[in-house]
Amino acid sequence: MTIVNFTPFSALLGGVLIGLAAALMWWLLGRVAGVSNILGQAFSSDERELNWRLAFIAGLVLAGLGAKLFVPGAVHFSLPAGYGQLIVAGLLVGFGTQLGGGCTSGHGVCGMSRLSPRSIVATLVFMAAGAFAVLGLRLAGTL
């Protein structure tokens, strides 16, 4: 194992911003800022519940668009996977987060902060599965 591309300060700052956003959702709307649940439950929400969900999603997307337009230097983006791999991965991420009841934000940040045993288990499992998937890519020679 070698350690590369280490950027602890920007990672910590980004984490603080994510934590602040999640704190806003909690203190203002009383909601857990779990992206997969906000998105997934938009499929089965009445209008009152749908609006704030779509607004949060719009905020996420517009943050990306705004950064690309106004501060392109701050955007670091490199995507190694091709279309086929991304379609398979997208299906897995969509289905898995709904079955498991959360993702990196809902379980990994919010649930871990609450010391929820379910979230701690989920986070350990999806991190391990992610590491195995990357190991698989490495062994297959596509990394």
C-beta of 46: minimal distance to other proteins in Å?
14
* Residue position matching structure tokens 């499929």: 43
Q: Which of 46, 47, 73, 76 binds other proteins (CB under 8 A)?
A: 76
For residues 37 and 106, the answer to whether their CB atoms sit within 8 Å is yes
Of 45, 47, 55, 141, the residue at the interface with other proteins (CB under 8 A) is 55
Q: How far is the CB of 140 from other proteins (least distance, A)?
A: 11
How far apart are CB 120 and other proteins at their closest, in Å? Answer: 9
C-alpha 85/C-alpha 78 separation (Å) is 15
**Residue 106: other Cβ atoms inside 10 A:** 25
CA distance 116 to 97: 17
User: What's 114's DSSP letter?
Assistant: T
| 80 touching other proteins, by CB under 8 A | yes
Shortest distance, position 69 Cβ to other proteins, whole Å: 9
In the list 45, 47, 58, 70, the residue contacting other proteins (rule: CB under 8 A) is 58
What does the block give as tokens for 9? 């300060």
Query: 11-40: which residues touch other proteins (CB under 8 A)?
Result: 11-33, 35-36, 39-40
Cα gap 13→18, rounded to integer Å: 9
CA 50 to chain centre: 20
**Residues 81-140 close enough to bind other proteins by CB under 8 A:** 81-83, 85-101, 103-105, 107-114, 116-118, 121-123, 125-138
